[in-house]
Chains A and B, each alone.
Chain A
Amino acid sequence: MTNTSNDPYFIDFPKRIQSIQAQMQRENIDVYLGSRLRTLSWTTDAFFPWRSFIVIPKEGLPTAFTFVIDAARAADDSWLDEDHVFGFAPMGGQDQIEQISEFIKEILNGKKSRIGIESGMSNYLPEGWLTHYEYQQFAAALAGCELVNAHTIIDRLALIKDAGTINRFKEASRIVDVGHHAVLAAIQNGGYKGMTETGIAGIAALAMRRAGSEWEWSFTGGNEIASGYRTGYAGGACTPATRKEIKAGEPLMVDIHATFKLGLGDHSHNYLIGPATKRQRWHADNFVSIVKKTLEAYRAGITPSKLAERMMAFAETGGFADYMVPGFEHGIGMLGDEWRIGLNDGPFPFWTNPDHIYQENEVLICAMQYACPDESIGFRYENPIVLHKDHCEEMSKFPLGIEEIS
């Protein structure tokens, strides 16, 4: 637990809870029942890998609920004490529905109330929306109470990142850079020969763990390593490492992930395993040029659609628009918050609003994919960036480029 304001990674969690409670009051919500992983991370400062919930009363401390075998560890990691992290289990009175609904009833003291829940959908599997079954069970157990969708309370408060969160992301990115240096050292000067994608994923993981990373967190396969044709899947942005051997003359994509105090590092770097052809070099230079252009464009005030239009026009001019996947971002927050940008206010429910206006101190992943399946080549760039008034700050500092490895 981070508990001193002198700590660069300090986050004022009690203040976060008070902000939620202030908003609950405005929306006439007596209890907030959170179930999303992002909500658990943002409110507890602990990792909750099991189905978990948090109950936030109108006043006072919240209480988290998780599978009993992990509750003591979660309490140890959290700023909440063991009296505010409960474990549930398949025992009389201790299953999650009865335990939580009884807990809420005690808070409400017989009052029929409005209970905020998190209901929606996501492209991201571990999101953690309240399921239909859970909703029905809680509605029955809390008969007379009104269950209202309230996830926007958390989404709005979590949008702009505080200094402690940004510093955690920066440290996770520093650790990712350690992983990239380890991979480069391992593959150069013929070191790649005989290596597999999984082997490279492991080299990065070991280096990052030694540097303090807690987890190669991504649900897309941990450290995503692709080589040869696997770099060029149409639209491809998810490449869990395989046993494919790294070969001369092929591209190599190294997309690695580190976690530091629920802050997430995510940086993708690309190589050409020599000898590279002129055509491969052309593709690589195209990609580097558009990444540079994109990073120059990111700032507060721009929107995803404006940025995409500008970058696709640049790619068209350069003659490589056919190979660009027309998306340049994905959302990011503390662990479990990995998909949508901004709030749920776009034309397609629960997808990024293309007209979302970025604000200062929003953090996102600048994410770009170049894919030419016909030539078995592609590249990916990902880097957490924090937006400032007139520029963006890249958190991973590993030098941009696509080097030819011999």
Chain B
Amino acid sequence: MTEKVKYLSPEWRDEAERRLKTELPPERMNFVTSSMSNIYQNCPPDGSEKYLYFKFEEGRFAELLIGTGVSPKPEFAVSGDYKTFASITRGELSAQKALMTLKLKLKGNMVKALKLASLADRLNKVLATIPTEY
């Protein structure tokens, strides 16, 4: 795929799902069962809030939802500005630095989150390969 898709659009979601399923088999996800929502604030063009909800069951990719309003309750929620998430996906900013500089906020058990940090990195790296228009 070389054609760019709009970030967080239905097309981007479908491509994300396809890549996550093929590139992150259960063993690469340490057979984890967890869920996470990215909460995007100030999304263009109208400043609305969107969410991107991931769910893994025993390492198997189970669900990927994009929507507006309230996300399904995840184990972890990461919230921040749309531009911050876009910078992370483009590889300009690390998620860790964004958290440490208050550009992102994490909600959930931090100890468990630390155990899953490397998995989140793997997931973000896959998403970063999608040709995306922000």
Contacts and interface: CB of A to CB of B under 8 A. Distances in A.
A86 B110 contact: yes
B70 interface: no
A87 B106 CA distance: 12
Interface string A140-155: 0000000000000000
Contacts of B106: 91-94
Contacts of B103: 92
Contact of B110 (A75, A87, A102): A87
Given A92-B99, A94-B99, A68 B111 contact: yes
Interface string B102-134: 111111011110100000000000000000000
B100 interface: yes
Given A92-B98, A93-B79, A71 B105 contact: no
A385 interface: no
Contacts of A71: 110-111
Given A92-B104, A92-B106, A85 B99 contact: no
Interface string A13-30: 000000000000000000
Interface size range of chain B in the complex: 10 to 19
A83 B107 contact: no
Contacts of B111: 68, 71-72, 75, 82, 85-87
Contacts of B98: 92
Contacts of B107: 93, 102
A82 B100 contact: no
Contact of B80 (A86, A90, A92): A92
A46 to B, nearest CB: 14
Task: Give the secondary structure class of B's interface.
Answer: mixed
B105 A93 contact: yes
Given A92-B80, A93-B79, A68 B110 contact: yes
Contact of B102 (A75, A86, A89, A92): A92
Interface in B71-120: 79-80, 98-107, 109-112, 114
A88 interface: yes
Contacts of A82: 109, 111-112
Contacts of B80: 92
Interface in A63-80: 68, 71-72, 75
Nearest to B112: A82
Contacts of A75: 111
Contacts of A91: 99-100, 106, 110
A94 B95 CA distance: 14
B112 to A, nearest CB: 7
B32 to A, nearest CB: 15
12 contacts: A68-B110, A68-B111, A68-B114, A88-B110, A91-B99, A91-B100, A91-B110, A92-B98, A92-B99, A92-B100, A92-B105, A93-B99
